[in-house]
Amino acid sequence: MEYYFIGDAELLTAFRFIGIEGTAANTPEEALSAFRRLTRGEVAEGAVLLPQESSYKVLILTEEVAAWLGNELIDWQLSGKYPLVVEIPGILGPMEGRKTLIDAIREAIGIHI
């Protein structure tokens, strides 16, 4: 399965060590540009970084990038197309107000360990 990452540069370096390519996004504009390249094949200013027909099946985004993408990300997720989107906490941890995976599991099964 092919993965791609969009997020901060530190996590991008970590993902590259395990063989996952990606793009560092430090601003909402960079995040939106990378997301559109991957999902729509749109290329800005002739800088071709990805093929038009992407083979990526899973797109890993930091929570910050997901927040920057807003409704565009929601529309993509509702479309049911590949790549599927997975959000992870950024290098500084979960954003305020976001549940951790453990919190979500606890809520789903109703057990506190």
**Which tens digits make up the pLDDT trace of 34-77?**
999 888 876 655 555 544 456 789 999 999 999 999 999 999 99
Assigned token pair, 75: 């529309």
The pLDDT, as a whole number, for residue 41 is 77
Span 88-110, pLDDT tens digits: 888 776 667 776 666 666 777 77
Residues 6+ apart with CB under 8 A from 73: 35, 61, 66, 85
The pLDDT, as a whole number, for residue 3 is 94
The pLDDT, as a whole number, for residue 52 is 46
Assigned token pair, 76: 């993509």
Res. 33: pLDDT tops 70: yes
Assigned token pair, 88: 């992870």
Please state the pTM of the whole predicted model: 0.76
